[in-house]
Amino acid sequence: MRTWGVSLVITRHVLIALVIGGLGGLLVMAFLIELDHATSRSEFCTSCHSMRFAEQTYQASLHFDSPSGVRASCGDCHVSPGLMAATWDHLVGLRDLFKEFFGPDYADPAVNLLHLPEAAFSAREWFRKRDSATCRRCHTQEAILGERANTAAIHREEAEGKTCIDCHYNLVHRRVPDEQTFKRDAWNAMVEEEMGLEPGEAARLLEGPGSGCGEP
């Protein structure tokens, strides 16, 4: 027994702990995988009322209805690839859940639309920071041929230093201008006209009775 020093360390208890720990770790991994799976599904995301507006535009987009039958779910685009990154994204997503309960009434179409630009800006920033990693899950830049002449050439020669989201925004959800040229007054006026609100009501809704509830 004394011949192997290792056996001094691997006692029975350590062995049991390792097995339990290993199994536990596997279980946690399995749990996280299942959690990511479950919470990346479109059905999960749209179970909040406020998400039905994003769902409507998504369902009208090519990412929902493509001729090839490939359908991207919410998570395919909005949750990072890789288990740790995905877990982190879901953790951050808890903030949205908190705001859903305690923030403005996002289920109200006007309130939702008024807050859409900031949501879009932060989503674009999220894509940019990750070099559009979720786009690249399905799209391989070198393989893009396109239907128009020269689409392939443009993606080869004109895309240097650019990431997908730099050019391809406003693809799936309702159109929002780039942050640099966004004009809050014009947006509010558009919402007021569309929703039949009195002039100035958009600004009041944006302040909201629940102002201070974690609004940026």
Q: At closest approach, how far in Å is the CB of 149 from other proteins?
A: 8
Q: With CA atoms as reference, report the closest residue to 205 among 114, 109, 96.
A: 114
Comparing CB distances to other proteins, the nearer of 51 and 191 is 191
Q: At closest approach, how far in Å is the CB of 82 from other proteins?
A: 29
In degrees and rounded to multiples of 5, residue 37 shows phi and psi of: -60, -50
Footprint on this chain of other proteins (rule: CB under 8 A): 148-150, 153-154, 157-158, 162, 166-167, 174-178, 180-183, 186-191, 193
Q: At closest approach, how far in Å is the CB of 197 from other proteins?
A: 13
Q: Length of the chain in residues, anyone?
A: 216
Q: Own/partner pairs for 128-131, CB < 8 Å, 24+ apart?
A: 128/163, 128/165, 128/166, 130/80, 131/163
Q: At closest approach, how far in Å is the CB of 166 from other proteins?
A: 7
Q: At closest approach, how far in Å is the CB of 52 from other proteins?
A: 20
Comparing CB distances to other proteins, the nearer of 65 and 194 is 194
Comparing CB distances to other proteins, the nearer of 11 and 151 is 151
Comparing CB distances to other proteins, the nearer of 34 and 193 is 193
Q: How many CA atoms lie within 13 A of 170 on its CB side?
A: 7
HEC profile of 96-108: HHHHHHHCCCCCC
Comparing CB distances to other proteins, the nearer of 99 and 174 is 174
Burial 94-120 (b: 16+ CB within 10 A, else e): eebeebbeebbebeeebbbbbbbbeeb
Cβ proximity of 169 and 117 under 8 Å: no
